[in-house]
Amino acid sequence: MEKQTVKNMDSFSQCLFYKQSSLFLSERNMQLLEKNTHALKFKHGETIFKQGDTASHIALLNKGIVKFNFEENPNRNLILSIVSAPKILGGANMFYRKKNLFSITAIGECDIFMVDMQVLGNLLMQNAKYTLMLFERAMEMFETSILNYISLANKNVNGRLADILLYLSDHVYKSETFHLQLTRKEIAEFAGCSKENVIHTLTRWNEEKIIISNVKTITILDKQKLMVISRHG
């Protein structure tokens, strides 16, 4: 993990969280916020927050993609969600529990700003509108987890995988051709199925010209067909 100080990074003042905070906080409080924030770079596979650990910071994902992991037991891992920047990570700990409910792991290289939770909490106590804004932004990270579990509960493997590819295309990579940084095992953990099911389904869709699936690249050729599979899966 490569650590840098915010003082050497002009990008903090350009990040979405800083800009939104400046609408509610005084210049003095913005300086306090900046003083108690530091920048980190995480490489692929490095843990940003670990499930069960006590939370001391919230993380501002300024660049990159992360996955939310829940380890049900040592032999079973679930991917709850995958999100791309900009996002507030771990903000729910300020309003609920002080221990991380799940782990957050970098997919590829990520630029993160770590904000001291106690300092931020004191600022929130002074400004109700700022608290509401941060609460709304923090809760965004649960939206995809909820939608994914609705998919898991009501759809077969075809429907789940279609939902995942559409979600990754529309909300994470924002392209119909994307370099997939997840292994087939991780896709299976996201879809709640076996690795073999993932490989078989992607191979079949490749043959049916719905997608082009290489080792690390996915191209959606027939998005309408994928949406039909999603609806009826």
Same domain, 138 and 82: yes
Examine the domain organization and report whether 13 and 112 are in the same domain.
Answer: yes
Residue 209 gets the label, from left (phi > 0), alpha (psi -120 to 50) or beta, of left
| Cα–Cα distance for residue pair 81/147, rounded to 1 Å | 9
Q: What is the pLDDT of residues 173-202, one digit of tens each?
A: 999 999 989 999 999 999 989 999 999 999
β-pair partners for 106: 66
Confidence of residue 11 (pLDDT cuts 50, 70, 90): confident
Residues 196, 145 share a domain: no
Q: Cα dist. 111→3, 106, 174, 224, 227 in Å? A: 10, 10, 19, 35, 33
Residue 8 has pLDDT above 90, yes or no: no
What tens digit of pLDDT does each residue of 111-123 get?
999 999 899 989 9
Number of domains in the chain: 2
Note whether 162 and 108 are same-domain residues: no
Domain match, 23 and 127 both: yes
CATH number for the domain including 85?
2.60.120.10
> Where among 130, 151, 172 does a domain terminate?
151
Domain region containing 20 = 2-151
